[in-house]
Amino acid sequence: MRRDLKEVVVVDAVRTAFGKAGEKGIFWKTRADDLVVPLLKALMERNPTITPNMIEDNLWGVTNQVKEQGGTIGRVVSMLADWGYEIPGCSIDRMCAGGLSAIGFGASYIASGMAECLIAGGVEHMGHLPMGFMRDPHPRAVEVMGGLSALNMGMTAENIHTRFPEFTREMADRYAVECQRKADEAIRVGKMKDMIIPVEVQSPDGTLMIADKDQQPRPNTTMEALKDLKTPFKENGNVTAGNASGLNDGACAALLMSETRAAELNIKPLMRWVAAAVAAVDPTIMGIAPVPATQKALKKAGLSMDDMDIIEMNEAFAVQALYCLDRLGLKWDDPRVNKWGGAIAYGHPLAASGPRLVAFLAGLFKENSKAKYGLTTMCVGRGQGYSVVWENLQT
């Protein structure tokens, strides 16, 4: 029996503030699953024509699936939100792109007719569950991945500097300063207010507080300050805490529907899924992977980089962003890229970062009604890239 694919749309996207990982982080005394629940409830409150019983799956990217992030978090959180037992869910791991993969898988489900409405997102508590926590790599893992540096993301960035010396530390620092400037400007004028859902948390002294502002941004960053930072991954290296994304806690979720179902509910969607692609590269320079992933996605969409009006690229490290922009034919300061700043400013809570790109793109589409197409793309630990092309429906 022949079936036609359905068009898939994003109806809404929300996130928590992103906190710093560790005891000084705003979410130090908050569990990962308790970051997800407020987002689920907010999606229903913000979209009153949708009720929990309409959610046909709850897909959550999460990298370290142990302790509070284990036990198939995507299944449990809907029950913690008091939605009952009837909503299925699962956990997805593609390291940094776990949440973006969840959105991609969700789009595939809807396009194929498996579902009409679902939630897809990502969550990571890097304070409670640091990168690599309780991992047991295969004895041959280092060999097959090309060396020990493949297991250390900071070293993969240093490797890009080494193999492509045209991207200098000064360039990386300059990129980082500009990222912080754009983020500060966006925050000051309230660009984050509509997407950040306040979460009640316990502060270090035991009092309750509302976490509703990103903790990572450093608006006073200067080239002078960055040049004095140490290079922890390599002696006399190029990667510092200033030109890399932070270690963070946070969650982000998107509400996806078929376009026909949204029309039936009289919902005006934000954007339409056009095409997606994943690619793989040498794990020791994992940060270059958005290039082949984007090229594949654009080919599937029948579009080019010139057609992309807004580009959201996750900045795991400044050098990998610089490489990718250059190889995709863009200048380092292309005005289409990360208009509100990127992960160097806001932080990178692994699986939550991909959905954060989607939330940013949806917001940017809203204020740029003439923009037609946008791109979300990110690199992935162990040498992968994930890219999605979107069409603006807020015109």
Within 13 A of 238's CA, how many CA atoms are on the CB side?
A: 24
Residue whose structure tokens are 């969650």: 251
Q: With contact defined as beta carbons under 8 Å apart, do 381 and 353 qualify? A: no
List all residues 6 or more positions away from 363 whose beta carbon is below 8 Å from its beta carbon.
191, 194, 195, 340
Distances (CA, A) of 249 to 42, 286, 304, 315, 368: 19, 22, 34, 16, 30
Residue whose structure tokens are 């037992």: 85
Residue whose structure tokens are 């036990």: 71
Residue whose structure tokens are 């579009």: 303
Residue whose structure tokens are 């995709």: 328
List all residues 6 or more positions away from 289 whose beta carbon is below 8 Å from its beta carbon.
279, 280, 281, 379, 380, 383, 384, 385
d(CA 33, CA 72): 11
Q: For residue 43, what are its two tokens?
A: 């999606």
Helices of type H across the chain: 33-46, 73-80, 98-112, 141-145, 153-163, 169-188, 223-226, 259-264, 290-301, 318-327, 343-346, 353-367
CA angle at 345 for the pair 344 and 348, rounded to the nearest 5°:
60
Q: Give strand pairing partners of 248.
A: 20
List all residues 6 or more positions away from 176 whose beta carbon is below 8 Å from its beta carbon.
221, 226, 242, 243, 318, 344
Which are the catalytic amino acids?
96, 348, 379
Distances (CA, A) of 25 to 20, 204, 278, 286: 4, 9, 32, 28
Terminal-residue alpha carbon distance, the chain: 36
